Amino acid sequence: MVKLKLFNTLTRKKEIFKPLEDKIVKLYTCGPTVYDYAHIGNFRAFVCEDILRRVLEYNGYKVIHVMNITDVGHLVSDADTGEDKIQLSARKRRKTAWEIAEFFTKAFFEDAEQLNLLKAHFYPRATQHIKEMIEWIKKLEEKSFTYIISDGVYFDTSKFKEYGKLTGMNFEELNKKLKAGARVEFNPEKRNITDFALWKFSPKDKKRDMEWDSPWGKGFPGWHIECSVMAVKYLGETIDIHAGGVDHIPIHHTNEIAQTEAITGKLFVRYWFHCEHLIVEGRKMSKSLGNFYTLRDLLSMGWDWRSIRFLLFSAHYRQQLNFTFKSLESAKHSVETLKNFLINLKNVKKGMHSKKVSKLVRKVKKEFLEAINDDLNMPKALATIFNFIREVNKLIKNKKMSKKDAERIIKIMLDFDRVLGLKLEEFLKPEEIPEEIKKLVEEREEARKKKDFEKADKIREEIRKMGYIIEDTKEGPIVKRVEK
């Protein structure tokens, strides 16, 4: 058995994965902040995390998956300044923060389902765990990790000896780097630039939609506290894997470690899994550049969900993915290759069994498992699959493929799809051809019998314009829908 290896951000190396409990994996993934539609950069991370879970399950692990929904407390600045993103969105849209959070939470679930992301077992929302967050802050206060300034209760990062360990820097180095790079705006009331808000006070001059009473005053939780509280509540004090984007490493995840381990005195996360950024046409995605796309934008342009999903996992998760429409077109062709391959296998009726089939099958199964278990090397896994397809297609073309062989290969492809998540089984279902198309196909066959090839060609073109193509075989014409 090929052992699964994952790159651990904490140790900065690939490690053989071994959960705390045999065959049970406790997985926490950072979910969306529900102030707007998630963009394809967000979904790059969500898809990579979905591949992670699928690979774990492919290896026989039972995964307990928690994904949080941030519906309060995420400010526009990492420096704990500015307006709450949801409150700001509500003001612009003339809705309440509660309405905005509910609308975009629903939208996220719809998009996640569209991309065939496996459903988490728990989707805790920050607003449903305010009481627990307050209790946590009380415990941190009792342990002297907190102090109060004019705008809230803060965690004193100098009190946590291992602060910054996820970044590979210590407390002094990280503070120095943040000051030099102006990574965050420095609040002069804070003791250290890395200190972060646990509880923010509501503005005195206006009422917020989302605010709660606390021992320190009316307000709302800081962004980081929610993940620690919910991860520990649903998964325990030490979890196996915590996943998210690389942008979370220096602040959000670093702060999660500090506040959690300050309370428990235990290792919070054993393996940290981080996905690299998605860039668009070589540039950072932004609304101002006009290269900001949501999943819904791409679907409305006519792209299918499989092509989008395929593209998002086609590059290694620890490498930046450059999104281009050319690469999306390439992903579309790859999906069509998978579809045509399965249809060709399904249509194998006669043919001689080749001993080469068993050899190819053993080889592809071994290489696929080696690739996915080598830190989720999806480019290598995909290359293995498409090399296999090319070799099998040669056998099909040369009639060296029996129906039983074809069925065996279909089964293997569907097994691989447990990781790919492309719903390949749907390509094997009989396609409903409109009656109008069926009638034209019959007319064309009559024309061909009468050797009226000019009429037959005209009908073929008419069918093509209607979105279908005809493939003439010895068994008769096969009608296929043209992928958009």
CATH number where 404 lies: 1.20.120.640
Please list the pLDDT of the chain residue by residue as tens digits (484 residues): 789 999 999 999 999 999 999 999 999 999 999 999 999 999 999 999 999 999 999 999 999 999 999 999 888 877 677 788 998 899 899 999 999 999 999 999 999 999 999 999 999 999 999 999 999 999 999 999 999 999 999 999 999 999 999 999 988 888 888 776 654 557 889 999 999 999 999 988 888 899 999 999 999 999 999 999 999 999 999 999 999 999 999 999 999 999 999 999 999 999 999 999 999 988 877 666 778 899 999 999 999 999 999 999 999 999 999 999 999 999 999 999 999 999 999 988 887 888 899 999 999 999 999 999 999 999 999 999 999 999 999 999 988 999 999 999 999 999 999 999 999 999 998 778 888 988 999 999 999 989 898 999 999 999 998 888 888 877 788 887 775 4
Would you say residue 149 lies in a domain?
yes
Question: Among residues 391, 411, 428, which one ends one of the domains?
Answer: 428
Same-domain check for residues 13 and 48: yes
Of 275, 310, 334, which residue is a domain's last? 275
d(CA 234, CA 239): 10
Domain boundary among 235, 259, 275: 275
In a 3-state reduction of DSSP, which class is residue 467?
coil
Q: Can you tell me the distance from the alpha carbon of 456 to that of 205, in angstroms, rounded to the nearest whole number?
A: 77
What pLDDT score was predicted for residue 185?
Answer: 59
Residue 351 in domain: yes
Distance CA 192, CA 255 (A): 13
Burial class (CB in 10 A: 0-12, 13-18, 19+), 365: middle
Same domain, residue pair 374 and 444: no
On whether the CB atoms of residues 362 and 411 are closer than 8 A, the answer is no
Question: What residues are paired with 473 via a beta bridge?
Answer: 476
For residue 22, give every residue at least 6 positions away whose Cβ sits within 8 Å of its Cβ, in sequence order, or none: none
Residues 149 and 253 in one domain: yes
Mark whether 378 and 459 lie in a shared domain.
Answer: no
**CA 198 – CA 211 distance, rounded (Å):** 14
The pTM of this model reads: 0.89
The reply to whether 67 falls in a domain is: yes
Tell me the Ramachandran region of residue 82: left when phi exceeds 0, alpha when psi lies from -120 to 50, beta otherwise.
left
* H-assigned helices in 69-115: 85-93, 97-114
Residue 179 lies in a domain: yes
| Per-residue tokens: 178 | 């943040």
Asked if residue 441 and residue 385 are part of one domain, the reply reads no
Q: Which of 239, 137, 269 is nearest to 196 (CA)?
A: 137
| Residue 120 φ/ψ, nearest 5 degrees | -65, 160
**Inside any domain, residue 296:** no
User: 239 and 338: one domain?
Assistant: no
Phi, psi of 36 (to 5 degrees): -165, 175
Same domain, 346 and 461: no
Does residue 93 share a domain with residue 29?
yes
Q: Which long-range contacts link 169-176 to residues 24+ away (Cβ below 8 Å)?
A: 174/250, 174/254
Residue 283 maps to a domain: no
pLDDT reported for residue 473: 78
**Cβ distance 357 to 405 under 8 Å?**
yes
Output the six-digit token pair for 479.
């009608």
Task: State the total domains in the chain.
Answer: 3
Check which CATH number belongs to the domain holding 101 and give it.
Answer: 3.40.50.620
DSSP secondary structure letters along 328-350: HHHHHHHHHHHHHHHHHHHT--S
What are the C-alpha distances in Å from 173 to residues 167, 187, 290, 461, 462?
10, 19, 37, 68, 69
Residue 140, pLDDT score: 98
> Domain limits at 360?
325-428
CA dihedral 199, 227, 116, 118 (to 10 degrees): -150
343 and 463 assigned to the same domain: no
Question: What is the Cα–Cα distance from 277 to 322, expressed in whole angstroms?
Answer: 9
Within a domain: 282: no
Residues β-bridged to residue 353: none
Give the distance from CA 145 to its chain's centroid. Answer: 35
Cα 256–257–261 angle (5° rounding)?
A: 120
Are residues 384 and 409 located together in one domain of the fold?
yes
Tell whether 105 and 237 lie within a shared domain. Answer: yes
Looking at the fold, whether 30 and 123 belong to one and the same domain comes out as yes
Buried b / exposed e over 402-432, threshold 16 CB at 10 Å, is beebbeebbebbeebbebbbbebeebeeeee
Residue 304 falls inside a structural domain:
no
